[in-house]
Structure 1
C-alpha cells in the first residue's frame, strides 16, 4: 500500500517540496485510517459478547431493500455468508418460507417512521438450516441528525426458544391438570338420592347421569365408609351432620379405582325441599399435579444448565463420524478413556446400542455444520445409562475439516437398565 502511494506522489509532485507535502498528507490519511480501523476493532471486541451478529445497511427501504454495507465476523459465523457474499445484498438473503411476513411488515413500518425496532423471526443460513434471529435495529445519524444508515444487532436465540417451548409445554400440562382437579359439585336429597352431579363429578367417578340416578350416594364409597355415611342419612340431615362440614375420604371410580377426595358440605333450603350440596376436591389429581411439576421442573432446570458435561470435536473419516478430541470431563463422566473413543467407531463404546443409528445421523448433520439436538443414552462411570440431550452448535475450525460442538451434552436422568 505504502509503495503505491509513494510512487504516485513522485508522479504528481511538481517539485521536492510538493512531494514532501503530499507525503505528509498521505501519512496523515494513512494514520487516520489505521486509527479508525483500531476503533472499529475495539468496538467489535467490546460488544462481541453481547451480540452474535452486527450488520449495517443503507437507508433506502424501497425495493429491492436496503443494501448491506458492513457485517462483522459474528454475522459470517451465524449465517455462513462471508463478508464478500453479504455486502451489496439485502437482509432478505436470510429470509425464507417460515419467516413471518407480519413481523417484516411491522419492521418496515417502524423503520420508515425513523424508529428503532426489536423483534424476532425464523431466518435461514447459507446452507438452508433454520435459526431464530432476534433483531435490535437502530438508526445511525450524521452530525446534522439525519438518518443515514441502519445498524442491526442480532442474536441466534434458537436454543432459548427450544427451552421456552419446554417451559410452555410444562405450563400447558399444569393448566390441563389444574383444570381437571377443580372442585366438583354434587347435590343429594335427604334420602341419599343423587339429584345433580356436574360434568366434573361424572368424569371423576365414570358414571353417566342416568347411572347415577339408579344408585345412592353411599354406593360410590368403599364398604368401610358406606355404612357410616348411610347411618348419617338415617339419623336425619341437619346442620350438625351436613351443614358446613369438612370431610376427607376415598371414593371409587366405576372401574373400582380408588380416588382420594376432600371437600365441604352445606344444606340448601329450596321450595321443593332440602338438598345437601358437596363441593369435592380431587386430592389424587392434585398430587399428580405436584409430582408432574416436580419432575418436569427438574428436567427443565437440567436443560437450562449452562455448564455442559463435556464437549467434543468431530471429523468425518470414510463416511463415519470420528471423535478427534474430547474435553477433559469426558473420561470422568463416562469412565472411558479419550484414546479409546478417538478410535474409528469409538462413539459406539459409550452410547446405548439401540440409539447408535440416530446418534450417527445426528453426528453427520453436525458435520454438515448444522445446529441440531438429539436425545440418547450414554454409559457413565457409575456403571449406569443416563439419558442426555446433546445440543450440538458446531463451529468449524480454520481448516473446515472438523467441528467443535460447543454446547456438548447435558445430563437428564439415569436409566435403570444395566450396561449392555
Structure 2
C-alpha cells in the first residue's frame, strides 16, 4: 500500500525507524490511521451533504465560554463560502471575528446564557464577512457530548437568511398590505421576529410614536416602552414558545420619539412565514380611548345642561298663498332645548332666527324635495339663546291631505347630536 505514502511522509517515517522492520510497522500504522481518517472524512461529508439544504455552514468550537470566548476548531467549506474566511484564518480564533457594529448585543448575551446552562440556542443577528459586508446569520447551536454525557464542544449550524428576511418584507407588503387592510380598521399593528426585532409595522404605529420604518429597525420592541414595562415585554420573547400565547391582553406605556407617552393594549398572535415565526401584535390606544370617554362625558354633561331630558323637537312647514315656505308649528321641547321663543321663529323664519349660515341652502333644498314628495335628512346647526350652536340631524317628511298626490305640509324632526360648538 505504499501508494498512500508520498515521498515526504515516507522520508519522515524512515527517519523515525531503526531498521526495515520498524519502518514496515510504522507504514502499517500510518496506513491504518489513514484509512480511519478517510472513513471519518467520508462520514463527515455525508453529514454535511444531508444538512446542506438546511444550513449553509458548520462551525465547531471548544467548550471555553470565558474571554476571549470559545475557539474555533472546525469549519466546513460552506463556512468559507459564506464568510470569505479560509480555514487557516479562523481555526484557533473565536466567532467574534464575524461580529461588528450592528451585531445585536442582547442576542449574544442570551446566547451565552443558554450555553452556560448547557442548552441549545436558536437565533439570528447581523454578522460580517471578511470583506466587511453584512449578512443576517441564523444560528442553530447544540452541545456535543462525550460517552459520559459531558459537554466537550459546541456545534453551530449556520445560514445566511438575508434574502429570506427581505422576501418576508415583500410578502408583508404584497399580500398583507398593512396600510390598506389595517388602516381601514383603524388598528395599530406591528410584526416582530422571535427576538423582538420589528419586521414591519403599519402607518398607525409609526405615526403614533413618530418613528419611520428605518428607525424602528434599530430598536427592540421593549426599547420603545417605559422602564417599568420592559421586563414583561422581554420575558415574552425570551425562548419564545408559541404554545404559551393565550388570549390575555397586555398594557404597556410606549414612549414616542419626542418623549410623549401613550398607553397601548396589545393582543398577541403569531404565524409562520418562510419558515420563520412572526409575532403579530394588534394594539388598542388606551390613552385615546380614555380621552374619548372623557370627552363624551363632558359632551353629555354639556348636552344635559342645554337640553335637560329633551333630545328632539319637531316643526311643521307649509307654503302660504304667496308661494313662500314658512314654519307653521314648533313643539314645546324646542324652547327647552334652544331657549328661544317659538313665536319669534314662526314670525321671522327658521333661516333668519335659527340656522347657521352655512346650513341655510341645505335646509331650503331639503324642504323643496319634501314638498315634491321626497323625504330626506340633513345635518345642520341651530342657534341657542346663549349664542352657542347645537348640532342636529333633521329629517323632512312630506305630509299629504285628502288628495294623496298633493303635499300639504312637511313635518320635520330635529334630533340632537352630542356636539356643542361655540
- Range into which the TM-score falls when normalised by the shorter chain: 0.3 to 0.5
| TM-score, normalised with respect to structure 1 | 0.45
* Bigger-Rg structure (1/2): 2
Q: Which has the higher contact order (CA 8 A, sep 6+)?
A: 1
